[in-house]
Amino acid sequence: SACFALKFPFSEYHVALCCKKNYEELFKKLDTNKDGKVNVAELRAGLIAMGISLRTGEAQRIVATGDKNRDGALDLIEFARYLKEHEKKLWLTFKSLDKNEDGRLDASEIKQSLAELGMDISTDAAQKILQSIDNDGIMTVDWNEWRDHFLFNPATDLEEIIRYWKHSSQLDIGDNLAIPDEFTVEEKTSGGWWKQLVAGATAGAVSRTGTAPLDRIKVFMQVHSSRSNPISLVGGFKQMLKEGGVMSLWRGNGLNVLKIAPETAIKFMAYEQYKKRFSSEGDKVETAQRFMAGSLAGATAQTAIYPMEVLKTRLTLRSTGQYSGMGDCARSILKREGMRAFYKGYVPNMLGIIPYAGIDLAVYESLKNAWLSQYARDTANPGVLVLLCCGTVSSTCGQLASYPLALVRTRMQAQAALHASEHVSVRSVLRSIVAKEGFLGLYRGILPNSMKVIPAVSISYVK
């Protein structure tokens, strides 16, 4: 390509002239009706005819980005300006990835670049990504191949792959203990990170509201169900409906939604600070360091908002007319039980973060690498359904590992309300549950908790 002259000390005029000639030739091929403009339909049909596949809506995005006069199409000047700016970004990215400056990218450079962005992949996975770009089959990518692959593609760099595969906690089922969101440098500098946080918080609010009845029956079963007093899913719903009517199914949901914003904000800020502390080589953060940073960020956020967790549990379990609202519940707890009551169950809650986050992250990384190794041939984009499946499986594994501690936490949060004079420890609650109900007693309420995953996945898909 004439634009490969960017790598050599030719004059800017020569480069611009060569590029302009190529742009004009391409524009003429795409302008099938010869009206001096390329619209969305012409762009899509022309690129497909040239063997260039586009993602859904990509032709519209290209036209919208380059269309400065907002007439719904690109003239030659707009078309050339768009390609020139896009190629410049591609070139700068190519140079940053070419670690040994030999003018070619190999699998080791792909792997190293992804590691620096916080994504550890195997050599096989890196080779699969390379194969999706490599046209001549020699397992290296030069500037021509790089530019041709991404010229009409939104992925101007490998950070696009990070956007596909970043481990996110957007699968919100109410127990937000996962590793916080990963944001690329571009997302942080452009301000796109806060939009994603707001979108995630909104989706979380919708998800928690939609699954609130299941959350309440889970807490109800965790606290009140036992061998001597078995409570089934249907039986529990009947008891709650009989005691307080349909609206009683949403008790505690208001506070559960209200705590999303402070918890998300604190976790995100703490995660960024912990990552900086743990990173040993500039911005490079290994998986183990991400796990430690995520666990500490989760602990920091949970410590700050934990009194709201206790309030949420008490409001969820309250009987009709027991409290007039959140303020009345807080005043009642403070008056009767003191400030320490707001941290009942704090220890098992903190202990639960480590197995949840660790197993969740480990399973997700394994599934991600398996997909890249087996299926990443034409693209590194796995699609929304694959990502949701990976997130669902990893989150479920984390839930299974940490659920007994979540059960102990809930019982300790409710303990003072049930037995005001009794002070219990994590060990004593665990012993009591196993002695009276057996090992399966540690999973009381797991069914409604698991059922929450289905609507949560659906809401995440829509988001």
- Domain regions of the chain by residue span: 2-164, 165-462
Q: Which CATH superfamily is domain 2-164 in?
A: EF-hand (1.10.238.10)
DSSP annotation string for 314-357: HHHHPPTTS-SSHHHHHHHHHHHH-GGGGGTTHHHHHHHHHHHH
- Can you tell me the distance from the alpha carbon of 371 to that of 270, in angstroms, rounded to the nearest whole number? 31
pLDDT in tens, the chain (463 residues): 333 333 333 333 333 434 556 778 888 888 888 899 999 888 888 888 877 766 666 788 788 888 888 888 999 888 888 888 777 777 777 777 788 888 888 888 878 777 765 566 677 777 877 777 777 778 888 888 877 777 766 544 455 555 555 555 445 555 655 566 666 555 565 566 677 778 777 878 888 888 899 999 999 998 888 888 888 899 989 999 999 999 999 999 999 889 988 888 888 888 888 887 876 554 556 667 777 887 888 889 889 999 999 999 999 998 888 888 899 999 999 998 889 889 999 999 888 888 887 788 778 878 877 776 676 555 556 666 777 788 788 888 888 888 999 999 999 988 765 654 466 788 888 998 999 889 989 999 999 888 887 777 666 556 5
- Nearest 5°: the CA angle 87, 368, 397 is 145
Q: Residue 308: what pLDDT? A: 93
Residue 139 region, left (φ>0) first, then alpha (ψ -120 to 50), else beta? left
Residue 180 region, left (φ>0) first, then alpha (ψ -120 to 50), else beta? beta
CATH architecture of 165-462: Alpha/alpha barrel (1.50)
- Cα 201 from chain centroid? 12
Does residue 361 contact residue 415 with C-beta atoms inside 8 Å? Answer: no
Q: Residue 90: what pLDDT? A: 74
What is the pTM assigned to this prediction?
Answer: 0.62
Burial 372-398 (b: 16+ CB within 10 A, else e): bbeebeebbbbeeebbbebbbbbbbbb
- Can you tell me the distance from the alpha carbon of 453 to that of 450, in angstroms, rounded to the nearest whole number? 6
Q: According to DSSP H, which parts of 31-75 are helical?
A: 40-49, 58-66
DSSP state of 181: P
